[in-house]
Structure 1
Amino acid sequence: MINPQEFIKQHVRTVPDWPQAGIQFRDITPLLQDPQVFRVLIDIFLERYASANLQYVAGLDARGFILGSVIAYELNLGFIPIRKKGKLPFHTIAEEYDLEYGNATVELHTDACKAGDRVLLVDDLIATGGTMIAGKKLLERLGATVVEAAVIVDLPELGGSQLIRDAGLEVFKVCDFAGH
């Protein structure tokens, strides 16, 4: 029998040359469309974090919302959305980060969590790591302890997971696409 991580990896669709030539885009939507695959995916995270003593799951805009909210629901935890700039309606704090070509900003409500809260930070994929590091900084500015960064896919050649570890946050990935 195939292990769960390999099962999940087989259901990640690779879209060549999207959004630009030379990029191999890793598309998670097939994981979400098949209820059996989606359940296996969520169960991997539930098994890892069931006894982690968390108060929240924070999801990064936008695919981190899908994964993070389901994990939070299943673990009976609150969910914190970390959004792109200008999308949250209340008082926010912001963190800018670098992209390959330019920069971006993510925001968090100032009352999203409090000092001492233990938070799991979730997204679909780690590429360069900038969004994950920015999310970590926002949560820590509110006094939270970010327990781990959790993703479905890691692209280790882009160096993001190492940068996240260098920033003091452990990374859990379901699968990776090394050498692609």
Structure 2
Amino acid sequence: MNDAFFASHIRTIADWPQPGVQFRDITPLLRDGAAFRRLIDAFAERYADSHIDAVVGIDARGFIIGAALAYRLGCGFIPVRKAGKLPFTTMQESYALEYGEASIEVHTDAALPGEHVLIIDDLIATGGTLLAAVNLMTRLGARIIEAAAVVDLPELGGSARLAEAGLPAFTLLHY
């Protein structure tokens, strides 16, 4: 895996969505077909020998990576959405962002007790979104294999929070 390759496809947008935030945009990585394939291949190689029943993708960029990875691994895909976006009975979890608060939810039948799931998103910032997804999956009885993301922003403390919670995490890049 070549970190410089992936890093060359990440765009930094200063002061978005608010002053002081350095937004790491993965859309150029997704836009480049060869780079996107390499991204999915890198994750698929890591999890090829894992017993994963479903990949849990977090709204919205985690959907893109998660669905492609689930296809590649031959397992199911579970969408974790922003509140109010799912049509069936849901469970909800609130969390803090580095610049606000939010809630995510999942269908109450999304994962079965004992199923092995991988949770994936585009980046780890404060860790709030991933920890909220972990809480949802745990409430459903799923077993978390790992949390994964393209980018880790360690100075925002998310990867440390995940480690403190005993959740193994994997990222391709650290800023």
The question of a shared fold, defined as TM-score above 0.5 by the shorter chain, is answered with: yes
Q: Which amino acid aligns with 2:50?
A: A
The 3-state SS of whatever aligns with 2:93 is: strand
Unaligned runs of 5+ in 2: none
Q: Which amino acid aligns with 1:30?
A: P
- Does the aligned pair in 1 maintain the 2:14–2:21 contact within 8 Å? yes
- Give the Cα separation in 2 of the matches to 1:139 and 1:54: 14
Cα RMSD after superposing both structures: 1.1
Between the two proteins, the alignment pairs up a number of residues equal to 175
Partner residue in 1 for 2:150? 152
Q: Which amino acid aligns with 1:53?
A: H
- Does the aligned pair in 2 maintain the 1:122–1:149 contact within 8 Å? yes
- Does the aligned pair in 1 maintain the 2:98–2:125 contact within 8 Å? no
- Give the Cα separation in 1 of the matches to 2:122 and 2:132: 15
- Give the Cα separation in 2 of the matches to 1:145 and 1:139: 8
- Give the Cα separation in 1 of the matches to 2:100 and 2:40: 33
Give me the identity figure in percent. 57
- Give the Cα separation in 1 of the matches to 2:141 and 2:3: 33
1:34-56 Cα offsets, whole Å, 9 max, x none, are 11111111111010001111000
Moved over 4 A (4+): none
- Give the Cα separation in 2 of the matches to 1:100 and 1:14: 16
Partner residue in 1 for 2:110? 112
Unaligned runs of 5+ in 1: none
Question: Please, what TM-score do these two structures have when normalized by structure 1?
Answer: 0.94
- Does the aligned pair in 2 maintain the 1:64–1:124 contact within 8 Å? yes
Partner residue in 1 for 2:125? 127
The 3-state SS of whatever aligns with 2:118 is: strand
- Give the Cα separation in 1 of the matches to 2:99 and 2:124: 17
Partner residue in 2 for 1:87? 85
Q: Which amino acid aligns with 1:95?
A: E
Q: Which amino acid aligns with 1:41?
A: L
The 3-state SS of whatever aligns with 2:170 is: strand
